C-alpha cells in the first residue's frame, strides 16, 4: 500500500496514490459506463456514458480521501502523529505513527471515518432529490445517486465490528474501556476480523460456484485482505502486550558506536566493521549531530572497486528518514516507525546526542525475555504470556 506518486498535501498531511488504484477506477468506470447507466438512461452516446462513469469513479476516490482525511485530522487532534494517506486498490489507509492513548481517542479516530462517509452520502442524496424536484434528470443526477449510495454502503461496511475495519477499532475502544486493557481488546477485535474475513471468502466462493461471476471474486479478494490484515493486527497486539510498559531506553543497545560520515567505506570496513562486528553505525558530524545511518546491508551494496572512493555518507540512510526516539518513549510507539531505509533500525537521541540504537535483534531479545518471565511466573501457561498479566515482563 505504499504510494506510487504523490498528490501533495492537504491540511499539512501528505496524500499519495498507489498504482493499484487505477484498477478500481477502471472497474467502477467500466461497470457504470457499460453496465449500469445504459439500461437506466438509454439513448445517450457511448462517450457520454464513459465521461459520466469516469467522473463518478474520480468522485468516489475523492470520497475515500475525505473518509481517510477525517481519520487523520482527528488522530492529529488527539495527539497521534500522521505519516500520510494512501489510496489503493481496496480503498484508502491513513498511516498513523503510534496508536491512540485512551479508549475515547480510539473511538473518536475510528468513528469519524464512517460518520464522514454517511454525511457525504446523505448530502449527495439530498442533492440528487433536489435536482429531480427541480426537473433535472439524466447522467449528472445518476452520478449523484450512485455516489450517495456507495458512500452509505462504505459507511455501513466499515462499521462491521471486525478489525481492520473502523468497526473493529470501535469494538476495541469499547472493550478497552470495559476491560481496561488495550492489547487484549485488540486481540479480540482482530479475531473478529479474521472470522469476518473468512465469511467473506466463503460467500465469495459460493457466488462463484453459483455462477454470479465477478462479484464473488471481489468478495473473496476483500475477505483475503481482511484475514491477512486482522492476522497481522493480532500478532502486533500480542507483541505490544508483551512489550507494554517498556521504554526505548530499556531495550536499546548502548553506547552506540558512531562513525565519521566522511570516512571511506574501505577504511571503515577494515578498521571498524570487521573488528567491532556491529550491524548498525550512526553517522555524526563534528558537533555530534546525527547526519546518517549505515548498516552492513548498505555497506555490502558498495562494489569492492568503489569502496576506496565512496564515503559513508554516500551510502547512508539520510537523517530525515531515520526513525529516532527518546530514551523515555514507550517502545510500542517506536515499533511502527522502524522501517524504510534504516533496515529496521532506530537511533535513540537524548538532547540531540546519539545515546543508543534499537535493532530488530534488540526487540527479539526483549520478547524472548518476556516469554521467559511469563513462564517463570505462570508455568501452567506453557511459556505463553498473557497480555494482561505480565505488564513488566522483559525488563533487563
Q: What is the pLDDT of residues 121-175, one digit of tens each?
A: 999 999 999 998 988 878 999 999 999 999 999 999 999 999 999 999 999 999 9
pLDDT value, residue 3: 80
Annotated binding residues, as ranges?
67, 71, 166
**pLDDT: is 342 or 383 the higher one?**
342
Q: Please determine, for residue 340, whether its predicted confidence score (pLDDT) is greater than 80.
A: no
pLDDT value, residue 246: 87
**Most confident segment among 229-243, 304-318, 361-375:** 304-318
Q: What gap in Å lies between CA 179 and CA 33, rounded to an integer?
A: 50
Write phi, then psi, for 352 (nearest 5 degrees). Answer: 80, -5
Q: What gap in Å lies between CA 183 and CA 368, rounded to an integer?
A: 18
Is residue 68 part of the annotated active site? The answer reads yes
* 60-79 CB burial, b ≥16 within 10 A, e <16: bbebbbbbbbbbbbbbbeee
- At residue 212 the predicted structure's pLDDT band, cuts being 50, 70 and 90, is low
CATH 3.10.580.10 fits 250-373, yes or no: yes
Q: What gap in Å lies between CA 29 and CA 26, rounded to an integer?
A: 5
DSSP for 52-68 reads HHHHHHHHHHHHHHHHH
pLDDT per residue as tens digits for the range 248-307: 999 999 888 999 999 999 999 999 988 887 889 999 998 889 999 999 999 999 999 999
β-strand partners of 93: 86
pLDDT value, residue 49: 93
Residue 109 and residue 78 in contact, taking contact as beta carbons nearer than 8 Å? yes
3-class secondary structure, 39: helix
pLDDT value, residue 218: 84
β-strand partners of 233: none
pLDDT value, residue 160: 95
- At residue 380 the predicted structure's pLDDT band, cuts being 50, 70 and 90, is very low
- At residue 217 the predicted structure's pLDDT band, cuts being 50, 70 and 90, is confident
Is the alpha carbon torsion for 382, 385, 386, 390 positive or negative? positive
CB-hemisphere CA count at 13 Å for 379? Answer: 1
DSSP 137: -
pLDDT per residue as tens digits for the range 225-246: 999 999 988 988 888 778 877 8
CA 40 to chain centre: 39
Write phi, then psi, for 83 (nearest 5 degrees). Answer: -80, -40
- At residue 116 the predicted structure's pLDDT band, cuts being 50, 70 and 90, is very high
- At residue 342 the predicted structure's pLDDT band, cuts being 50, 70 and 90, is confident
Domain segments of the chain as ranges: 5-245, 250-373
- The C-alpha cell at 143 is 452520478
3-class secondary structure, 393: coil
Q: What gap in Å lies between CA 99 and CA 106, rounded to an integer?
A: 8
If we measure between CA atoms, which residue out of 284, 282, 285, 306 comes closest to residue 295? 282
Least confident of 41-45, 97-101, 355-359, 392-396: 392-396
Q: What gap in Å lies between CA 147 and CA 2, rounded to an integer?
A: 26
Q: What gap in Å lies between CA 140 and CA 146, rounded to an integer?
A: 10
Torsion of CA 128, 93, 329, 109, to 10 degrees: 20
* pLDDT mean across residues, the chain: 87
Q: Please determine, for residue 100, whether its predicted confidence score (pLDDT) is greater than 90.
A: no
Selected catalytic residue, list 3, 68, 233, 234: 68
Q: What gap in Å lies between CA 85 and CA 74, rounded to an integer?
A: 13
pLDDT value, residue 383: 29
CA 385 to chain centre: 26
Arithmetic mean of pLDDT, 367-373: 74
Q: Please determine, for residue 387, whether its predicted confidence score (pLDDT) is greater than 60.
A: no
Annotated binding residues for Zn(2+), as ranges?
67, 71, 166
Amino acid at each position: 500500500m505504499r504510494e506510487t506518486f504523490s498528490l501533495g498535501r492537504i491540511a499539512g498531511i501528505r496524500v499519495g496514490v498507489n498504482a493499484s488504484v487505477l484498477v478500481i477506477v477502471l472497474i467502477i468506470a467500466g461497470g457504470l459506463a457499460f453496465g449500469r447507466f445504459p439500461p437506466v438512461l438509454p439513448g445517450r452516446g457511448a462517450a457520454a456514458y464513459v465521461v459520466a462513469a469516469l467522473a463518478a469513479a474520480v468522485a468516489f476516490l475523492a470520497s475515500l480521501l475525505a473518509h481517510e482525511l477525517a481519520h487523520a485530522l482527528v488522530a492529529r487532534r488527539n495527539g497521534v502523529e500522521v505519516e500520510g494517506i494512501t489510496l489503493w486498490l481496496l480503498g484508502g489507509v491513513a498511516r498513523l505513527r503510534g496508536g491512540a492513548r485512551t479508549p475515547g481517542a480510539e473511538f473518536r479516530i475510528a468513528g469519524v471515518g464512517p460518520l464522514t462517509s454517511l454525511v457525504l452520502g446523505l448530502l449527495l442524496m439530498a442533492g440528487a432529490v433536489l435536482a429531480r424536484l427541480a426537473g433535472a434528470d439524466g447522467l449528472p443526477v445518476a452520478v449523484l445517486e450512485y455516489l450517495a449510495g456507495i458512500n452509505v454502503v462504505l459507511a455501513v461496511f466499515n462499521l462491521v465490528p471486525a478489525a481492520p475495519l473502523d468497526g473493529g477499532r470501535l469494538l476495541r475502544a469499547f472493550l478497552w474501556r470495559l476491560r481496561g486493557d488495550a492489547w487484549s481488546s485488540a486481540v479480540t477485535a482482530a479475531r473478529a476480523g479474521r472470522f469476518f474475513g473468512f465469511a467473506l471468502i466463503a460467500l465469495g466462493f459460493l457466488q462463484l460456484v453459483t455462477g454470479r461471476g465477478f462479484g464473488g471474486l471481489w468478495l473473496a479478494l476483500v475477505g483475503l485482505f481482511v484475514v491477512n490484515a486482522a492476522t497481522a493486527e493480532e500478532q502486533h497486539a500480542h507483541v505490544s502486550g508483551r512489550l507494554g510498559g517498556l521504554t526505548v531506553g530499556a531495550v536499546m543497545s548502548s553506547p552506540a558506536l558512531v562513525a565519521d560520515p566522511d570516512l571511506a567505506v574501505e577504511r571503515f570496513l577494515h578498521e571498524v566493521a570487521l573488528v567491532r562486528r556491529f550491524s548498525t553505525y550512526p553517522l555524526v558530524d563534528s558537533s555530534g549531530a546525527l547526519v546518517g545511518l549505515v548498516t552492513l546491508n548498505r555497506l555490502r551494496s558498495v562494489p569492492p572497486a568503489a569502496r576506496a572512493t565512496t564515503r559513508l555518507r554516500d551510502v547512508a540512510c539520510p537523517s530525515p528518514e531515520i526513525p529516532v526516539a527518546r530514551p523515555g518513549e514507550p517502545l510500542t510507539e517506536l515499533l511502527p516507525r522502524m522501517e524504510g531505509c534504516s533496515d529496521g533500525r532506530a537511533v535513540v537521541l537524548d538532547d540531540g546526542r546519539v545515546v543508543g540504537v534499537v535493532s530488530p535483534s534488540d526487540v527479539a531479545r526483549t520478547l524472548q525475555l518476556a516469554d521467559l518471565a511469563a513462564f517463570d511466573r505462570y508455568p501452567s501457561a506453557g511459556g505463553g504470556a498473557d497480555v494482561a498479566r505480565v505488564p513488566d515482563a522483559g525488563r533487563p
